[in-house]
A = this chain, B = another copy of it.
Amino acid sequence: MAFTPGFTGSVLDRVEAERLDPAIVPRLVAEGDALYLAMPDYEPATDDASLAWTALDAAIPADELVLLGRIDGRPRFTRLPGDIQPARRTPAVMALIDSLPPSDAATYGVARSLLDWHARHRFCAFCGNPSTPMRAGWARHCPACGTEHYPRTDPVVIMLAEYRRGDIAQVLVGRQPIFPPGRFSALAGFLEVGEAIEGAVARELFEEAGVRAGRIRYVASQPWPFPSQLMIACIAEVDDPTITLDTNELEDAKWVTRADVLAALAGEDGAPFLAPPSYAIAHTLLRAWAEGA
């Protein structure tokens, strides 16, 4: 099975070890070949539907430069404005993501999640004083109490329940009221403190659809930059297909066959549901299942 989940496959080298050098930003700027991605209000500069990297503008204060990493050996920066606000998910950005090459979408995802984390964490959660960026934008430091803060990534489990009877296999898809008309997708929810992936999958399936998970198998993962989740996709076998819907979460849920899923993924006119977009891991998960995962 060959598939590439959305927001993966970036050619970015994160230079994690280099970032430990407190003088890395001026050192890389001095190298002279650094490139820059403008992202005013989180909208990346593009050129022919690819990210538009330009020469680093010397007017940008060094303490506002965020080092994304290196591509083709050249340092890549973006900017953390002092007055940055949390990101909003705009239709323009979602359309852009759909058109970017996968590696560019992945690189943009890193930049977006990182800037948005700064925007939401300008104060020290331990003591309440203002914190300041450090490590080329990959951490914050509180001068008042000394606490260091690191970017946050929230694990989310997303899953298909699978019911087999004889030769017929079906998976469970559900729909939230905010979805576009006709759209159904895999069920999902945030992993909680103290949970394993498998425990969270079983809990969410029971809460949202009233089905009891048996054996659970991992399929794939991807980052999701709205604002910064780790999506963990699984399939859970169930013995009883009776659905008890949590109507606070879902307005509908139904069992669909392999043929249904393939028709939805192909965007066929008569398909029994509208599939999630290709950059969402629900799409990858449905495809993987349809192809035998």
Contact = CB atoms under 8 A, between A and B. Distances in A.
Contacts of A109: 194
Q: How many copies does the complex hold?
A: 2
Given A123-B127, A124-B125, A125-B125, A193 B117 contact: yes
Given A121-B126, A193-B228, A16 B203 contact: yes
A150 B246 CA distance: 22
Contact of A123 (B114, B124, B203): B124
Interface string A259-274: 0000000000000000
A8 interface: yes
Interface string A198-223: 11000100010000000000101111
A48 to B, nearest CB: 23
Nearest to A199: B8
Contacts of A110: 193-194
Given A152-B152, A155-B155, A223 B14 contact: no
Contact of A8 (B152, B192, B196): B196
Interface string A3-23: 001011010001011000000
A230 interface: yes
Given A120-B125, A126-B123, A129-B128, A223 B153 contact: no
Nearest to A246: B17
Contacts of A126: 120-123
Contact of A153 (B114, B191, B248): B191
Contacts of A241: none
7 contacts: A8-B198, A17-B207, A152-B154, A195-B223, A195-B230, A197-B221, A197-B232
Ranked 3 nearest A-B pairs via Cβ: A110-B194, A123-B128, A218-B218
